[in-house]
Structure 1
Amino acid sequence: MKCYFSILSIFILMFFSSCENSKSNVVFHPSHEPNRANAPFSDVVETENLLFLTGQIGKDHKTGQLVSGGINAETKQVIKNIKAVLEYHDLSLDHVVKCTVILKDIDDLKDFNWVYTTYFPNKPARTTFEASDLAGGASIEIDVIAAKK
């Protein structure tokens, strides 16, 4: 897990340092969810034509609770959460070009894929790995990069 975040951090630093006038091209968007207004991170960071969405878990933002029903229900909720953030920024799941998927149990991959493929027929690039503990006791977390068309 530490290696993933180190590599990701290096990539992000390299990306932003290579952008001419990167500070003027980067927008840190607050959450569209009122109960997440004080979160210590941005829901979306936008630069040029790319939107980097923060990771989502299977929490129903209306109730504040993780949905029940296992990996299938959590995956559907995660994608619903991603879709809501994208729609707030006038985008859709069709704009997603990259997904990073973290599963609590890699044995859930088959069930996850069954749900995932119904939402992402364009087959964006994807990285999938297992981590023993996820925020909020979740079984899955997904973050995405979307491109404006």
Structure 2
Amino acid sequence: MLISCNAPKEEPQEIVSTVTLQQPKAPVFHESHEPKKQNVPFSDAVQVGNTFYLSGQIGMDHATRELVPGGIVAETEQTLKNIKAVLKHHSLEMQDVVKATVILDTIADFSAFNEVYVRYFPQKPARTTFATEALAMGAKIEIEVVAVAKGQ
């Protein structure tokens, strides 16, 4: 690329700059590290370069395959623990999360959910939160996140 600019002197000077374009990296689809989840029709995470897109998690205890009892607070805790486990499997941490999408089964649970959420995300990633009529397994909450790995 050749750029001409007017310098303070009487003669124009030329600045030569090189731009290197990188090809987009192909997505890598990561199946679940949990054997019981191997037959689901989605990946736990999809990696494109150093960005990881995690599928939504609910407040399911993966040992029992059931939602944890205790309502929105308990389900939010378990949901975030599940996210933390998937991130850890890919050598990521909660502080690597840059975006979260939160789906509640009722917006009335927003305050209770948010009290738990802020403990896990002090860095305040971007977030979208909304309510819907129903979630899988009758869950009260589902959260999906996008994380960026450092130094890759």
Other-structure match for 2:41? 40
Other-structure match for 1:120? 121
Other-structure match for 1:99? 100
TM-score if structure 2 supplies the norm length?
A: 0.83
Other-structure match for 2:53? 52
Other-structure match for 1:76? 77
Structure with the largest fraction of helix? 1
The alignment yields a C-alpha RMSD, in angstroms, of 1.0
Amino acid at match of 1:119: Y
Q: Deviations over 1:74-133 (max 9, x none)?
A: 000000000000000001101000000000010100001100001110000000000011
Structure 1 stretches of 4+ moved >6 Å: none
| Distance in 1 between residues matched to 2:95 and 2:34, nearest whole Å | 22
Q: Deviations over 1:15-43 (max 9, x none)?
A: xxxxx755x52100010111001110000
Amino acid at match of 1:127: T
| Distance in 1 between residues matched to 2:34 and 2:99, nearest whole Å | 23
For structure 2, list consecutive stretches of 5 or more residues without a partner in the other structure.
1-21
Identity of aligned residues (%): 57
Other-structure match for 2:5? none
TM-score if structure 1 supplies the norm length?
A: 0.84
- Looking at CA atoms only, which structure, 1 or 2, has the larger radius of gyration? 2
Structure with the largest fraction of strand? 2
**Partner-residue secondary structure (3-state), 2:101:** strand
The within-5 A match list for 1:1-12 is none
**Partner-residue secondary structure (3-state), 2:78:** helix
| Distance in 2 between residues matched to 1:47 and 1:78, nearest whole Å | 24
Other-structure match for 1:9? none
